[in-house]
Amino acid sequence: MKRNLYWKGFAFAAILACALLLAACFEQPPVVPDGNEAHIHSFDTWEVTKNPTCTQQGEKVRYCACGEMQSGVIAETGHSFGEWVVTKQPSCTEQGESTRYCACGEVQNNVVAETGHTFGDWETITEASCREKGERVRRCQSCEYYLTEEIELLAHQYEVTADNRPTCEQDGSLTQTCTLCGDVKSERVAASGHTWTGATCTTPKTCTTCGVTEGEALGHSSAVGKCARCGQTVAPTVHLPSLPTECAMISFDEVLSKVRVTSIEYTFEARELTGPGFELEFTIAGEKTYDRKGVDGNTYVSLAWKLLDDEGYVVRSGQLHVFNLAVGDKFKGETFRYTVYDLEPSSSYTLVLEDYK
Ligand SMILES: [Zn+2]
Ligand SMILES: [Zn+2]
Ligand SMILES: [Zn+2]
Ligand SMILES: [Zn+2]
Ligand SMILES: [Zn+2]
Ligand SMILES: [Zn+2]
């Protein structure tokens, strides 16, 4: 019985202790002297038990006076890198490298971009001419790299150095020479061909450029007076001897005398009697210049004349007799008028004076 009582007392004490412990665990209100209130932990400051590193967490703990302990983690610090340091310089075309370190020994590498070329101005190596291209270069100021480029040909500077104009029938040429390189180029310039004007009464078909003629003149359409085609007065032409001219004669009594012809005048008159033709009337004037018998001589002179056609045939001839002239006497007039018929219009004739023997 006594033992049973003991167990009853022990059980009671144990239950009480448990209840107390349970109450403490639920953080009952502050402790009161009678010990009925629950205990509240009051922790000290955290104590670091393991320092964190750049990559690993650390640990910390704190205690309450009751012996309760709390533990916590301290975040890793992360790396703390220094400045980037270029370990390999980049070139124009190749990347470089840079590196930075953390105190923990962690290393980071990075690339440094290539710089690209830094070109200077173009420099001429060979000047271009009009015969050959030139060349120029542009160098990188940082490396050996360079670009080259052709310089285009210059244009020739031509000047005309020979100008053989074409004629109507023959080609010409134009030669030009480059003042820079002497290059010569010649071009054929085609003949221009004739520029014809039609035949007229008096001129054949003629080139106005070169004067060449083709065929014959049409001839006046009227034999007498005016040409129906061109309106021109149609008359033969007479060529006179150059004046003054001196003619001599020896008379039957063998006296020498001379006259000087100073003028010859002539007129034409158209007529249509036995066919188309002209009458030519000419008048000779002059003076007696010499008489062997002297100034009081009483001799005569005879002056022979001939009218020749354009082929040299005599159309008409005659004599001019001058009587009773003294040296110095002049003569002219009715007495010495001659008429020639049947002259061809458009033809030319020549009047010739001759010494009479
Ligand atoms: Zn506590
Ligand atoms: Zn680190
Ligand atoms: Zn370069
Ligand atoms: Zn040239
Ligand atoms: Zn011509
Ligand atoms: Zn005519």
155, part of any domain: no
What is the spatial distance between Cα 223 and Cα 201, in angstroms, rounded to a whole number?
Answer: 12
Report which bound ligand comes closest to the CA of 159: 4
Do 265 and 287 share a domain, yes or no? Answer: yes
Report which bound ligand comes closest to the CA of 65: 1
Per-residue pLDDT band at 247 (split at 50, 70, 90): confident
> Per-residue pLDDT for 280 more than 70?
yes
What proportion of the chain, given as a percentage, has pLDDT over 90?
52
Q: Match 């080609």 to its residue by tokens.
A: 171
> Per-residue pLDDT for 2 more than 50?
no
How many structural domains compose the chain?
A: 3
Q: Determine the pLDDT at residue 11.
A: 55
Report which bound ligand comes closest to the CA of 208: 5
Per-residue pLDDT band at 224 (split at 50, 70, 90): low
Report which bound ligand comes closest to the CA of 104: 2
Do 312 and 342 share a domain, yes or no? Answer: yes
Half-sphere CA count of 205, side-chain side, radius 13 A? 6
Number of CB atoms found within 10 A of residue 81's CB:
14
Q: Kindly give the distance from the C-alpha atom of residue 50 to the centroid of ligand 1, in angstroms, as a whole number.
A: 23
34, part of any domain: no
Spatial CA neighbour of 276 closest among 218, 346, 334: 346
Do 183 and 246 share a domain, yes or no? Answer: no
336, part of any domain: yes
> Per-residue pLDDT for 53 more than 70?
yes
Do 203 and 268 share a domain, yes or no? Answer: no
Q: Determine the pLDDT at residue 10.
A: 55
- Joined together, the tokens standing for residue 100 give 């930075």
Q: Kindly give the distance from the C-alpha atom of residue 163 to the centroid of ligand 4, in angstroms, as a whole number.
A: 19
What proportion of the chain, given as a percentage, has pLDDT over 70?
82
Higher pLDDT, 23 or 141: 141
What is the spatial distance between Cα 269 and Cα 233, in angstroms, rounded to a whole number?
Answer: 11
Q: Kindly give the distance from the C-alpha atom of residue 105 to the centroid of ligand 2, in angstroms, as a whole number.
A: 6
20, part of any domain: no
Per-residue pLDDT band at 178 (split at 50, 70, 90): very high
Report which bound ligand comes closest to the CA of 25: 1
> Per-residue pLDDT for 79 more than 70?
yes
Q: Kindly give the distance from the C-alpha atom of residue 124 to the centroid of ligand 3, in angstroms, as a whole number.
A: 19
Do 171 and 264 share a domain, yes or no? Answer: no
What is the spatial distance between Cα 66 and Cα 68, in angstroms, rounded to a whole number?
Answer: 6
Q: Determine the pLDDT at residue 300.
A: 72
Q: Kindly give the distance from the C-alpha atom of residue 35 to the centroid of ligand 1, in angstroms, as a whole number.
A: 15
Report which bound ligand comes closest to the CA of 213: 5
What is the spatial distance between Cα 257 and Cα 294, in angstroms, rounded to a whole number?
Answer: 10
Report which bound ligand comes closest to the CA of 62: 1
> Per-residue pLDDT for 350 more than 60?
yes
265, part of any domain: yes
Q: Kindly give the distance from the C-alpha atom of residue 199 to the centroid of ligand 5, in angstroms, as a whole number.
A: 14
Q: Are 176 and 184 in contact (CB under 8 A)?
A: yes
What is the spatial distance between Cα 79 and Cα 232, in angstroms, rounded to a whole number?
Answer: 128
Do 202 and 289 share a domain, yes or no? Answer: no
> Per-residue pLDDT for 290 more than 90?
no
Do 211 and 290 share a domain, yes or no? Answer: no
Report which bound ligand comes closest to the CA of 55: 2
Per-residue pLDDT band at 227 (split at 50, 70, 90): confident
What is the spatial distance between Cα 188 and Cα 171, in angstroms, rounded to a whole number?
Answer: 7
Q: Kindly give the distance from the C-alpha atom of residue 102 to the centroid of ligand 2, in angstroms, as a whole number.
A: 5
Do 318 and 301 share a domain, yes or no? Answer: yes
Q: Determine the pLDDT at residue 113.
A: 96
Q: Kindly give the distance from the C-alpha atom of residue 52 to the centroid of ligand 1, in angstroms, as a whole number.
A: 27
Higher pLDDT, 30 or 170: 170
246, part of any domain: yes
Q: Kindly give the distance from the C-alpha atom of residue 18 to the centroid of ligand 5, in angstroms, as a whole number.
A: 152
> Per-residue pLDDT for 20 more than 70?
no
What is the spatial distance between Cα 253 and Cα 250, in angstroms, rounded to a whole number?
Answer: 8
- What CATH number is given to the structural domain containing 306? 2.60.40.10
- Joined together, the tokens standing for residue 44 give 């000290």
Give strand pairing partners of 187: 174
Instruction: Render pLDDT for 186-217 as a digit per residue (tens, 0 to 9).
Output: 999 999 899 999 998 889 999 999 999 999 99
Q: Determine the pLDDT at residue 173.
A: 94
282, part of any domain: yes
Report which bound ligand comes closest to the CA of 217: 6
Q: Kindly give the distance from the C-alpha atom of residue 19 to the centroid of ligand 1, in angstroms, as a whole number.
A: 17
**Average pLDDT for 90-111:** 95
Report which bound ligand comes closest to the CA of 67: 1
Structural domain that includes position 173: 160-189
Report which bound ligand comes closest to the CA of 168: 5
Higher pLDDT, 113 or 5: 113
Spatial CA neighbour of 79 closest among 98, 100, 99, 58: 100
Do 244 and 344 share a domain, yes or no? Answer: yes
- Find the range with the poorest average confidence among 5-14, 156-165, 252-261, 328-337: 5-14
**Average pLDDT for 325-353:** 78
- Joined together, the tokens standing for residue 152 give 């285009």
Do 170 and 200 share a domain, yes or no? Answer: no
Contacts 24+ apart (CB under 8 A), 98-101: none
41, part of any domain: no
Do 198 and 175 share a domain, yes or no? Answer: no
> Per-residue pLDDT for 295 more than 90?
no
What is the spatial distance between Cα 353 and Cα 263, in angstroms, rounded to a whole number?
Answer: 12
Q: Kindly give the distance from the C-alpha atom of residue 190 to the centroid of ligand 4, in angstroms, as a whole number.
A: 26
Q: Kindly give the distance from the C-alpha atom of residue 223 to the centroid of ligand 6, in angstroms, as a whole number.
A: 10
Per-residue pLDDT band at 36 (split at 50, 70, 90): low
Q: What is the mean pLDDT of the chain?
A: 84
Do 250 and 347 share a domain, yes or no? Answer: yes
> Per-residue pLDDT for 265 more than 90?
no
